[in-house]
Amino acid sequence: MFAEKPLRSFGRRKGRNLRPTKQGLFDTLLPSLQISLPESRISNPESRTWLEIGFGGGEHLAHMASLHPEVQFIGCEPYVNGIAGLLAHIDKNKLSNIRIYSDDARDLVAALPDNSLERVFILYPDPWPKTRHHKRRIVSSEFLSELARVMKPGAELRLATDSADYATWMLERLLANKNFKWLAKTCDDWLNPPAEWISTRYEQKALAGIPTYLNFVRTIRKTVY
């Protein structure tokens, strides 16, 4: 658990006003999918549960959920317009295996039971490029230890960023954490996206640099804090 409430890792919560159709989904569909803490059973340790932190417009999360209907997905995203985008994908594709948490992912992870996640995605998190804002980065030593607690042995952690500085930051903290092992063997392993990847609108329009894809696995050992 975190010793004290960290600064939030995200910026604004809302952009343009939602169109009537998406506002309707926000009002009618979201309540049945929303996770509100505290909740007695967010994830069943016996189930296959995958978590995406910061799902943006929801393209990747909806894509993975459609490919793996047997998996329970949890998506974390505080941005209202992003949530509305995911709801549109859920409604269009009749997806029934996604739940949504619309606040700080660190609070959700803290509430999850041990060994409950089979895969975690952190794709293009806010890089907070200014040095004084680095403490807001979601990938921190403290958060990685919490992720290690809730990830099953052998579970995958997939990350992507278009910030070279943030990629270095991620690697420094992951390689220093004995709970994770980097699966890369050649440079192609971090220059090419993983299997089942779908290019999102962010990737197509807003990339600031060359993407870096990092794939780690939860080691089969007792959690080291």
d(CA 192, CA 50): 22
Nearest to 179 by CA among 102, 128, 130, 117: 117
**Which residues, listed in sequence order, are joined to residue 157 by a DSSP beta bridge?**
120, 216
Question: CA-CA distance, 96 to 158, in Å (whole number)?
Answer: 23
Closest by CA to 78, choosing from 14, 162, 159, 4, is 14
Q: Token pair of 52, please?
A: 């995406």
Q: Is 126 a catalytic site residue? A: yes
Q: Partners of 217 in the beta sheet?
A: 156, 181
What gap in Å lies between CA 169 and CA 171, rounded to an integer? 6
Residue type, 53: I
- Of 126, 162, 165, 188, the catalytic one is 126
- List residues bridging with 120 in a β-sheet: 51, 157
What residues contact residue 17 under an 8 Å CB cut-off, 6+ apart? none
> Could you tell me the two tokens for 211?
């993407």
What is the set of active-site residues? 126
